[in-house]
Amino acid sequence: MPLQTRRPTGAVPWPLILLEGAEKTGKSYTCAVLSASPRVGRTLWLDLNEGAADEYGAIPGARYEVIEHDGTWPQIIAQVAAAKDEAARARDAGEKPVVLIVDSMTAEWDLLKDWASARAKKTDSNRAKLARDPNAEISVSMNFWNDAASRHRQLMTILMTFPGIVVVTARGKDVAALNDNGKPVEGVKEYRVEGHKNLGFDVSCWVRLHRDKPAVVVGVRSVHNGIRPGKDKPKALDPDWTLEGLIFDALRCDPSAAHVRDLTELTPDVPEEWTYAAAVSDAAKAPDLDECRKLWRECAAAAKAEMCTAWQAKAVQELIAARMATLKAVTALSDDDPWTVAVLAITTADDAEQIDSEFTESFGEVPDDDPRKAGIGHLLAARKREAALRAAAEKAAA
């Protein structure tokens, strides 16, 4: 492939500004004041578990509109996408820039964390744990966190390519510092923004608000008023600063020349060859969780490249998930336990029925909270599901 290049434009992109700080530092109020600026157009306010949107509509000159949603992720992301479409329409029509306010990103990430935890509670291992102890600590495995991060990235991609002005808020506070083992360090505090860990990386300007001292620009991506790491200290803003002045004067955002960030979506490598039958075979034989995750990514990439149908991708991914559940269940048992060997030998429905019957007969008198019985039962349930999905997938591939 020949080298492909282009010259940089030098134009200032549309800003994505983070306002963060402790409680009652004026984050939402500052956003509402921006809507009164004669230099902005339609202002859309997405309130996520803050409840400040209605009250701040009484600020003199405020003219924002509250986006309505039912609190679910599909509707939230759909409304943000609709706001982006409206911003593009206004830009193409030569109107003043649309402003989108998201208040707050702390609530957004809390929603996704709760979603990950709720899904984790439905796994066989966590169900068994909660059955024994309703107050047991739930293990949220990495695949659930990855799904939550993927949803967050979906939102951030819209915000980072928004053809207008975006202002997001988040809570920030001093928390106990942690050592390398994740344990609190006595007497040591560190400041942390409450939200996804990459939030500070993704925004173009980061402003911290305080109750008892001027707001400061923690970091900003700007040729005209940048902060050089290691050289420049965070810049204190004037007591009467406004988002209008920050955006149009300090950052020199010119609506007539501003552009969205040039983001090219990164996609996983697409396998050179991918067939449904081979994918089913590989999923059924995956030796460990890392291989399962690799096969999952390949399947997703194959589906995106239209190398398979949607139902084929779903069938393979369900089999991979079942295989992962089996592999996780095995870790709770001894490798040389005869029941482990017997359960892992299940390949057909007849095998599953026989082992299930033998398990009921052997452990019928054993209390349900017996660790070995619970572990074997968990493995048996996972393996039976895996065998059923494998049989269905292999039949479809034949």
User: pLDDT tens, 309-365?
Assistant: 888 888 899 999 989 888 888 887 876 788 888 888 888 878 888 888 888 888 888
Residues 246 and 280 in one domain: no
| Confidence (pLDDT) at 155 | 94
* Nearest alpha carbon to residue 10 among 223, 174, 164, 283: 223
| Confidence (pLDDT) at 267 | 62
CATH code of the domain in which 205 resides: 3.40.50.300
Residues 66 and 144 in one domain: yes
| Confidence (pLDDT) at 270 | 62
Residues 77 and 208 in one domain: yes
pLDDT 10s digits, 229-239: 667 777 889 99
| Confidence (pLDDT) at 228 | 67
* Nearest alpha carbon to residue 254 among 101, 91, 93: 91
Least confident range from 180-184, 195-199, 243-247: namely 180-184
Neighbours of 285 (CB within 10 A): 10
Residues 303 and 228 in one domain: no
Compute the distance between CA of residue 254 and CA of residue 13 in angstroms, rounded to an integer: 9
Q: Which of 250, 267, 295 is the C-terminal boundary of a domain?
A: 250
| Confidence (pLDDT) at 377 | 87
Token duo for residue 184: 């609190």
* Nearest alpha carbon to residue 169 among 358, 18, 40: 18
Residues 177 and 293 in one domain: no
Residues 244 and 306 in one domain: no
Q: What is the mean pLDDT of residues 366-387?
A: 87
Number of helical H runs and strand E runs in the chain? 13, 9
Q: Which amino acid is at 395?
A: K
Q: What is the mean pLDDT of residues 22-34?
A: 94
Winning range, highest mean pLDDT, from 165-169, 173-177, 340-344: 165-169
Would residue 10 count as lying in a domain?
no
User: With 0-12 CB in 10 A as exposed, 13-18 as middle and 19+ as buried, what is 272?
Assistant: exposed
Burial 171-182 (b: 16+ CB within 10 A, else e): bbeeeeeeeeee
| Confidence (pLDDT) at 349 | 78
Would residue 5 count as lying in a domain?
no
| Confidence (pLDDT) at 37 | 96
| Confidence (pLDDT) at 161 | 92
Residues 66 and 208 in one domain: yes
pTM score, whole prediction:
0.67
Would residue 319 count as lying in a domain?
yes
Would residue 262 count as lying in a domain?
no
- Dihedral in degrees, nearest 10, Cα atoms 143, 144, 150, 156: -140
Residues 126 and 208 in one domain: yes
| Confidence (pLDDT) at 79 | 95
Q: Which of 234, 250, 266 is the C-terminal boundary of a domain?
A: 250
Share of residues in the chain with pLDDT > 90 (%): 39
Mean pLDDT over the full length of the chain: 87
User: With 0-12 CB in 10 A as exposed, 13-18 as middle and 19+ as buried, what is 337?
Assistant: middle
Domain of residue 85 covers 16-250
**Domain count within the chain:** 2
Residues 312 and 181 in one domain: no
Would residue 2 count as lying in a domain?
no
Would residue 232 count as lying in a domain?
yes
Q: Which of 250, 266, 286 is the C-terminal boundary of a domain?
A: 250
| Confidence (pLDDT) at 96 | 96
Residue 169 pLDDT > 90, yes or no? yes
User: Token match 């083992």: residue?
Assistant: 181
Residues 118 and 25 in one domain: yes
Residues 302 and 245 in one domain: no
pLDDT 10s digits, 81-139: 999 999 999 999 999 999 999 998 999 999 999 999 988 888 888 888 888 888 888 88
Would residue 359 count as lying in a domain?
yes
Would residue 376 count as lying in a domain?
yes
Residues 185 and 104 in one domain: yes
